[in-house]
Amino acid sequence: MRAANRGDAVAYRRVLTAITPVLRKVVRARGAGLGLEGCEDVLQDVLLAIHSKRHTWAEDAPLRPWLYAIARHKVIDAFRARGRRVELSIDDFAEGLAAEAGPDPTEGRDMEKVLGQLDPRAAEIVRGFGLHGETTAETAARLDMSEGAVRVALHRALKSIAKLRERMIE
Amino acid sequence: MKTDELIAVLAAATKLQAPVARMMALPLFGTVSLSVVSFAFFWGVRSDLLAALGSMAALKTLVPLVLGALAAALALALAHPTRVANGPASALGIVIALSALAFLLALGREGLAGLPGALSTPELLTCLLSIPALAAPLLGVALWGLSAGASLRPWLTGAMAGLAAGGLAAALYSLYCNMDMALFVLPAYGMAIGSVMIAGALSGARLLKW
């Protein structure tokens, strides 16, 4: 995480990938009523919060308590807000029946809605990194922007996404 | 969007925001300067300032200043999950307890009947309006800066920001105010700073959510 906060994208990706299964387990254990997709949305909220607040972690402090504090805050927040629209699907009652191949359990729904509200170019940049696994240089070349401009645009897009999601769950 | 895809997006966004304290430093310095200048312009210092600062009345300036500094340290710590600030927190508690004790002692000396007399002066309204007015811009900038942090208890962080702004404003106002009776200063300044603190708590609960 120390390297990540100094701009090492590979290290950062490793940190996020390592903590995601743990966080997913926590979210699913608490949010059985939300369904897998709902839980994945909460998990994505937590990841976005960790990302946008990572400058509040001090390099000389242990990382785990900080991560836990952020995740706990966000999970409680998300469940409180979503509590009113807990969804029950037929699957909840069909336990033990042969399950049909459901949707991908790591697919969130909220993100698509939010990307739809973003300005198209910003959404395009986010999708470029997410769906196509582009690098900053590739995105810059495709959209005819400088790499610095892509970085700034991505930073801003993630800020707007966090804000929009916050508004969505209120 | 899948979570793995989100991770790819986040990992690409390596631009890191500046630490909260560094981000706030310059705007806060500007706002303090603004408060000092508008104080000099609209209020001005009392004519016997030097004599007053050599007497017990200096506490009128010092105590709010210390209170404000401790609350500022606490607010900043509260904007960082897991950061502890037990030192400032207990020091703050002690200063508040001592002020309350001083008020009770003054009350015991003069009797409860002395309180309405001490407070029934037009200076009371000036005090109750001036301190919040001087504090408002400070509180605004402080809340803006703290919202870049990650406060787990927004209302408490907001209250501490209010106490910091109110304390600093009171210290400034005390250079103008020529009422030195403990029975006036303690309740009047207390109420004025308290109102800024309540405003901070209420707006913090909204503005510091994330």
pLDDT in tens, B9-44: 888 888 888 889 999 999 999 999 999 999 999 999
As a whole number, mean pLDDT of residues A100-112 equals 69
Beta-carbon separation of A130 and B8 below 8 A:
yes
Q: Phi and psi of B150, rounded to 5°?
A: -135, 75
Q: Are B87 and B141 in contact (CB under 8 A)?
A: no
End-to-end CA distance of chain A: 31
Domain boundary among A87, A120, A150: A87
ipTM value: 0.81
Residue from A19, A55, A138, A164 whose CB has the most chain B CBs within 10 Å, to mutate: A55
Identify the CATH number of the domain in which residue A160 sits. Answer: 1.10.10.10
For residue A97, being part of any structural domain is answered with no
Identify the CATH number of the domain in which residue A76 sits. Answer: 1.10.1740
- pLDDT range class, residue A83, cuts 50, 70, 90: low
Q: Compare CB distances from A65 to B7, B17, B82 and report the shortest one's residue.
A: B82
pLDDT tens for A35-57 read 788 888 889 989 999 999 999 99
A27 and A57 share one domain: yes
For residue A39, being part of any structural domain is answered with yes
Beta-carbon separation of A47 and B11 below 8 A:
no
The shortest C-alpha distance from A170 to chain B (Å) reads 11
Q: Compare CB distances from B2 to A66, A104, A154 and report the shortest one's residue.
A: A104
Matching residue, tokens 């706990």: A72
Beta-carbon separation of A12 and B20 below 8 A:
no
Interface of A with B in 21-40 (CB under 8 A): 24, 40
A39 and A78 share one domain: yes
pLDDT tens for A130-163 read 887 788 888 888 888 888 888 888 888 888 888 8
Q: Compare CB distances from B11 to A12, A104, A151 and report the shortest one's residue.
A: A12
Q: Compare CB distances from A55 to B8, B18, B210 and report the shortest one's residue.
A: B18
Q: Phi and psi of A98, rounded to 5°?
A: -60, 120
For residue A154, being part of any structural domain is answered with yes
A78 and A125 share one domain: no
| Enclosing domain of residue A156 | 109-170
A56 and A121 share one domain: no
Q: Which two tokens stand for residue A30?
A: 């608490």
pTM: 0.84
- pLDDT range class, residue A75, cuts 50, 70, 90: confident
Taking the C-alpha atoms of residue B126 and residue A62, their distance in angstroms, rounded to an integer, is 49
Nearest of B144, B148, B146 to residue B71 by alpha carbon:
B146
Q: What is the mean pLDDT of chain B?
A: 93
